[in-house]
Structure 1
Amino acid sequence: MTDWYNEDLAYIHDVGYRDYALKSMPGILEILQHDNISTGLIIDLGCGSGLSTEILDRNGYQVLGIDISGAMIEIAKTRVSAAEFRVESLFTAEIPPCAAVISIGECLNYLFDANSDAILDALFHRIYNALPIGGTFIFDAVIPGQVRPGEIVKSFTEGQDWIVLLEKQEDLEQQILTRRIITLRQVGDLYRRTDEVHRQRLFNAQLLSEALGKIGFQVEMRDRYGQFSLPPARVAFIARKPTGIM
Structure 2
Amino acid sequence: MKEWYKDDLAYIHDVGYSNYALKSAPGIIEILHRSEIRDGLVVDLGCGSGLSAQELTKANYRVLGIDISQSMIEIARKRVPDAEFRVESFFKAEISPCHAVISISECFNYLFDPDPHLQTLVDLFDRIYNALASGGVLIFDIAEPGQIAPGITTKGFNEGEDWIVLVEKKEDQKERILTRRIITFRKVGEHYRRDDEVHYQQLYEATDIAEKLRQVGFQVEIVRSYGEYNLPKAHAAFIAHKSV
Question: Which TM-score bucket, shorter chain as reference?
Answer: over 0.9
Deviation at 1:85, TM superposition (A): 0.5
Q: Which residue does the alignment assign to 2:226?
A: 225
Q: Does 1:103 align with 2:107?
A: no
Worse-matched range after superposition: 147-156 or 110-119:
110-119
Q: Which residue does the alignment assign to 2:18?
A: 18
Q: Which residue does the alignment assign to 2:189?
A: 188
For residues 90 and 171 of structure 2, what CA distance do their matches in structure 1 show?
A: 24
Q: Which residue does the alignment assign to 2:200?
A: 199
SS of residue matched to 2:141: strand
SS of residue matched to 2:135: coil
Aligned residue identity for 1:64: L
For residues 11 and 230 of structure 1, what CA distance do their matches in structure 2 show?
A: 23
Q: Is the 8 A contact 1:91 1:115 kept in 2?
A: no
Q: Does 1:70 align with 2:70?
A: yes
For residues 139 and 8 of structure 2, what CA distance do their matches in structure 1 show?
A: 29
For residues 20 and 236 of structure 1, what CA distance do their matches in structure 2 show?
A: 13
Deviation at 1:172, TM superposition (A): 1.0
Deviation at 1:118, TM superposition (A): 2.0
Q: Is the 8 A contact 1:2 1:69 kept in 2?
A: no
Per-residue deviation, residues 62-103 of structure 1 (Å, max 9, x unmatched)? 100000000000000000111111000011110011000000
SS of residue matched to 1:132: strand
For residues 115 and 182 of structure 2, what CA distance do their matches in structure 1 show?
A: 22
SS of residue matched to 2:210: helix
Aligned residue identity for 1:233: A
Q: How does 1:133-148 map to 2 (within 5 A)?
A: 133-148=134-149
Q: Which residue does the alignment assign to 1:239?
A: 240
**What TM-score results when the alignment is normalised by the length of structure 1?**
0.97
Aligned residue identity for 1:97: P
Deviation at 1:115, TM superposition (A): 4.5
Stretches of structure 1 lacking an aligned partner (at least 5 in a row): none
Aligned residue identity for 1:202: L
Q: Which residue does the alignment assign to 2:83?
A: 83
For residues 220 and 7 of structure 1, what CA distance do their matches in structure 2 show?
A: 36
Q: What is the percentage of aligned positions where both structures have the same residue?
A: 60
Q: How does 1:167-178 map to 2 (within 5 A)?
A: 167-178=168-179
Worse-matched range after superposition: 114-123 or 166-175:
114-123
Deviation at 1:166, TM superposition (A): 0.4
Q: Is the 8 A contact 1:98 1:132 kept in 2?
A: yes
Aligned residue identity for 1:125: D
Stretches of structure 2 lacking an aligned partner (at least 5 in a row): none
**What TM-score results when the alignment is normalised by the length of structure 2?**
0.98
Q: Which residue does the alignment assign to 2:59?
A: 59
For residues 213 and 6 of structure 2, what CA distance do their matches in structure 1 show?
A: 32
Per-residue deviation, residues 109-160 of structure 1 (Å, max 9, x unmatched)? 0001124222111110000001111100000000011110110000000000
